[in-house]
Amino acid sequence: MVSSRVNGINESATVSMSNKAAELKAAGKTIYSFGIGEPDFTTPEEIIDYAFKEAREGKTHYTPSAGIMELREKIAEKMKKKNNIDATASNVLVTPTKFSLNLALYSIIDPGEEVLLPAPYYVSYPDIIKLNQGKMITVPTDENYEFDFQEMKKYISPKTKAFMFNNPVNPTGKVYSEKSLRALADFILENDLYLISDEIYEDLIYKGRMFSPGSIEEMKDKTVTLSGFSKSYAMTGWRIGYMVAPLDIIKAANKVQQQTLTCAPSISQYGAMKALEDEESVAKMRQEFAKRRDLTVSLLKEIDGITLYEPEGAFYAFPGYSTEKADDKLSMELLEKYNVIVTPGSPFGAPGHFRISYATSQDVIREGIGRIEKYFNNL
């Protein structure tokens, strides 16, 4: 019999849909999948070659638990150059991507303390908070997904400890402006909270620009910045990312890492070291995603019965629709009747929506959205 703690955790909606797509493809069906958020590109060859070279030279052993020092130094240099965050290697912990969310929460919150999540939010946040014995408090955003600070104040309690969000936003594609993030920083400081800023899509911005709240001097001791290599470098299978935080949080997170993973995979760390030198591949992928974004937006706008916030970053669109049909039922009907996989909006905290990942080919985008249009025309 499994623990009640695990019984209270849901499967990831995005991973579940991806698993379903794999099953149907294995059964011989042609599936048009807009499910999981994964670039369809292969990791750039220079990164693969470098990692394999290091492996063949014997770099297949444990690394220091916080990560290879040279990689931590390169990440700190990147944070200064691209994010304007004053960091040194001692402020960096190398860890497998999503696990950094767990490390951040485990290091910051005590059981029963509250974490504010602006909705829509990344689908795994609520259950990661549960796993770390915290309590999720959903706070609303306005029609443009901007923070409503007057409304958010109503959700502050003596148990509120942190605010967690990602930028660019999965699932909406929202990119927050510097003005919005400085206002958020004021809110964090006024209420003595920690900010967990998940910036995994930082290189995939088509409108606006990236601003890291950790770059604000007053926020230096209040911000945990998370990022990684999965999205920008098509390295999802390498499972490599990092957190940048005040020294006490890094030390605490490192203790947890020592007693769980020991360290991030050595080969992935060497791949990450090479990736940080490769801006050309990132630019090429961003250009292709921009084309796919434009195609996705233009096709979705032609469908009667849906509304769309035009995504400014990441590789998602998050249409809303007017019918009263539950989003999980709508998603299942699209799969069963039209062989199209989308992710329902409810797990993101936004019923009446569905998420499309346009990290797929333009042919799949055209055919898949064409089938979505047929579905809505037949409702």
Peptide bond between residue 44 and the one before it cis (omega within 30 degrees of 0): no
Averaged pLDDT for residues 14-24? 74
Backbone angles phi, psi at 338, to 5 degrees: -125, 5
The C-alpha atoms of residue 120 and residue 100 are separated, in whole angstroms, by: 20
Q: Is the pLDDT of residue 164 over 90?
A: yes
Distances (CA, A) of 266 to 92, 158, 200, 242, 379: 16, 42, 21, 14, 52
Q: What is the DSSP pairing of strand 320-321 with strand 316-317?
A: unpaired
Per-residue pLDDT averaged across 174-178, rounded? 98
pLDDT at 26: 85
Q: Is the predicted pLDDT of residue 365 greater than 90, yes or no?
A: yes
Q: Going along 204-294, which residue ranges are E strands?
A: 223-228, 241-244
Report which residue type is found at 47. Answer: I
So what's the pLDDT on residue 36?
A: 83
**What confidence score (pLDDT) does residue 12 get?**
80
Average pLDDT value for residue range 58-87: 98
Digit-coded pLDDT (tens) for 241-262:
999 999 999 999 999 999 999 9
pLDDT of residue 15: 73
CA separation for the pair 77, 21 (Å, rounded)? 40
Q: Check residue 70 and give its pLDDT.
A: 98
With a cut of 80, say whether residue 20 has pLDDT above it: no
Domains present along the chain, CATH in parentheses: 4-43+280-377 (3.90.1150.10), 45-278 (3.40.640.10)
Identify the helix (H) or strand (E) that includes residue 257: helix 247-260
- Pairwise CA distance, residues 204 & 166, whole Å: 13
Contact present, 362 and 292 (Cβ < 8 Å): yes
More confidently predicted of 35 and 80: 80
- Is the predicted pLDDT of residue 18 greater than 80, yes or no? no
According to DSSP, the β-strands at 306-307 and 114-118 are unpaired
Average pLDDT, the chain: 96
Distance CA 348, CA 123 (A): 5
pLDDT grade, residue 27 (50/70/90)? confident
Show the tokens assigned to 40: 């369809």
Between residues 323 and 285, the one the model is more confident about: 285
Say yes or no to pLDDT of 21 above 80. no
Question: How much is the average pLDDT of 2-30?
Answer: 80
pLDDT one-digit tens code per residue, 185-210: 999 999 999 999 999 999 999 999 99
Confidence check: pLDDT of 11 > 90: no
Confidence class for position 367, pLDDT limits 50, 70, 90: very high
Let me know how long the chain is.
Answer: 379
Does residue 325 or residue 11 have the better pLDDT? Answer: 325
DSSP symbols for 331-347: HHHHHHHH-EE-EESGG
- What is the reported pLDDT for 257? 98
Strand partners, 160: 114
CB 274 within 8 A of CB 51: yes
Residue 160: phi and psi, rounded to 5, are -70, 125
119 vs 345: CA distance, rounded Å: 11
- The one-letter code for the residue type at 325 is K
pLDDT given at position 293: 98
